[in-house]
A and B are shown apart, each in its own frame.
Chain A
Amino acid sequence: MALLEETKKFLCVSCPVGCSLSVTVRGTDVLNVEGNTCPRGVTYAENEVANPVRTFTSTVRVNGASLPVCPVRSKEPLPLVKVFSVTREVAKVKVDAPLSIGQVLIENVCGTGTDIIASRSLGKI
């Protein structure tokens, strides 16, 4: 049986403009995108239909720094469905100061193909 064409509504989160997208899809194929004001809207719509991704951010515990936690992020956006597995993995980590911005703390987190990196530097005290 052929898949039906349908229209889905998304709000693009690529930038603060927040365009309302009207997306015509058949299955996971995007046929048409309307309402976007830049090409990122099309990429966003394609991802939302096939596999929504988000940049993940949180904190990890740190020993010996001026703060007890250090902010971290995923280097690249990762699948939205994996967010809670990733957050549990990040919660297990405790690292020693010093930390430098961009430093890899977890490689290929939960098999997502992207790393968890420090998003600030923290000196040792």
Chain B
Amino acid sequence: MSAALTQREVDVAVIGGGPAGVAAAFAARKEGAAKVVVFERDWEAGGILQQCIHPGFGLHTFGEELTGPEYMDRYLKLARESGVEFDLNTMVFQMDPPTLEGSGKQASFWTMNPQRGIERVKAKSVVLAMGCRERPAGALGIAGSRPAGVYTAGTAQRFVNMEGFMPGKKVVIMGTGDIGLIMARRMMLEGAEVVAVFEIMPWVSGLRRNIAQCLDDFGIPYYLEYNVCELHGKDRLEGVSVVQIDKNRKPVDGTLRFVGCDTLLLAVGLIPENELSKMAGLKLDSSTNGPVVNEFLQTSEECIFAAGNVVVVYDLVDFVSQQGERAGRSAALYAMRKLEKGPRDFQVETSPEIRVISPQKLSGGEDVTLFLRVAQPVEGRCRLYADPGIYSQNLRYARPGEMNEVKVSAEKLRALPSDVNSIKIGLEVL
């Protein structure tokens, strides 16, 4: 067999059919891009929301509280009606650095599909929407044996909510990420016993309302500054050792104890999935672990845009969709050679109180919402600001588990003196 490799051309290619990708594709069509294709490796679009069957999605976007599949159903309808094409069962496995094409650049990547085999796609612009992955057990260095029964919370969520399997009967949860809390409740409802949740940090990393409605409602205890330090069991997990830790993350003498369980779920962080971004040669940010972007969600390669959890891990899908739409609109304009960047080139800098921020570059071309996470909780009045003097807002508190927003107009940015080339975002305790 020596069939010639198929080469396809599209205007806007969206990689990943989750909430960010679907919103981006919809917005790209709405903006006027002719051929918009979503490349999705799964058999259906929707991404992680298809397994997030709990309510709490869409309050910002649709003004009502929906479950994940319901939220996705609405967005998919919008995208299909607008003429977005979906390439399902299609994995993008290679991305090339963009090349010059006329007055701009052009992206190129490679896909694999069971029917059509390997194809090369050339796109006038691309939106990266690959989302994120869970930090796995192997990244934690837990001592002891390696029995069955240790899963990331999201894997367990897929088993229970989509495959119809229960991963275990007696569960310990490590970490207070939202998926772990949601799964604590889910496992209880499915008849499992959830013994406890242990968190290494002195604060909860998920939303506080999930502590209330997933743990407190069901009488599940949680312990802060506790580490799960050892796994026990030969074939199947029989229990874990936990130990209290001090401010320097050292074990506290006399606090080591055994907790019996057959299942350990890990909810210890999400990491943006940027293998393709690296292949394309994009500049990545070491604090967000995602591409460096500007207010158009344009990366360091002008024809490649990015949105959603591949850029920075968000708390709410509503923000992911919002950012998806922004990236899709920008990508469509770029494909039509109509994207006009602003006249300035600001680098966004942060004070030590801020741990992550996105976007990192601003050109004053469009009004922008900067999303940030503080490094440590501030339980009391504080002031979030953007210097020199373009934003100031008093807050009742600031917590790492809940993103903050800084909204800045393009007009204000453009009006800054010409010798200003950085914007400093900071937090001060009042």
Contacts and interface: CB of A to CB of B under 8 A. Distances in A.
A123 B50 CA distance: 15
Given A16-B59, A16-B316, A73-B55, A68 B164 contact: yes
B161 interface: yes
B54 to A, nearest CB: 5
A73 B65 CA distance: 12
Contacts of B213: 13, 54
Interface in B43-61: 43, 50, 53-56, 59
Interface stretch (B169-177, B204-212, B342-350): B204-212
B67 interface: yes
B160 interface: yes
A18 B207 contact: yes
Contact of B164 (A10, A69, A121): A69
Nearest to A37: B396
Given A83-B189, A119-B53, A54 B209 contact: no
Interface string B295-338: 00000000000000000000110000000000000000000000
A101 B72 CA distance: 11
B394 to A, nearest CB: 14
B235 interface: no
A68 B53 CA distance: 15
Contacts of A73: 53, 55, 67, 70
Nearest to A72: B53
Nearest to A71: B53
B365 to A, nearest CB: 30
A87 B43 CA distance: 29
A67 interface: yes
B101 interface: no
Interface residues of B, number: 30
A120 B209 contact: no
B19 interface: no
B51 to A, nearest CB: 9
Contact of B208 (A18, A55, A59): A18
Contacts of A10: 212
A58 interface: yes
B70 A58 contact: no
Contacts of A15: 59, 65, 209
B289 to A, nearest CB: 23
A12 B212 CA distance: 8
Nearest to B65: A55
B419 interface: no
Given A11-B211, A119-B53, A67 B70 contact: no
A68 B67 contact: no
B253 interface: no
B153 to A, nearest CB: 16
Contacts of B402: 16, 18
Interface string B194-236: 0000000000000111011100110000000000000000000
A73 to B, nearest CB: 6
B229 to A, nearest CB: 30
B162 interface: yes
A54 B190 CA distance: 17
A66 interface: yes
Contacts of B163: 67-69
Contact of B53 (A11, A57, A80): A57
A12 B73 CA distance: 27
B209 A12 contact: yes
A10 B59 CA distance: 21
Q: Which 8 A-B pairs give the minimum distances between C-beta atoms? A: A120-B69, A71-B53, A18-B209, A68-B164, A69-B164, A11-B212, A18-B208, A13-B209
Interface of A: 10-13, 15-16, 18, 54-55, 57-59, 61, 66-69, 71, 73, 80, 83-84, 87, 101, 119-121
Given A18-B209, A119-B67, 18 more contacts: A13-B209, A16-B56, A16-B59, A16-B209, A18-B207, A18-B208, A57-B67, A58-B53, A58-B189, A58-B190, A61-B164, A71-B67, A71-B69, A73-B70, A80-B217, A83-B189, A87-B190, A101-B73
18 contacts: A11-B211, A15-B65, A16-B207, A16-B315, A57-B53, A57-B67, A58-B189, A58-B190, A68-B164, A69-B163, A69-B164, A73-B67, A80-B217, A83-B189, A84-B189, A87-B190, A101-B70, A101-B73
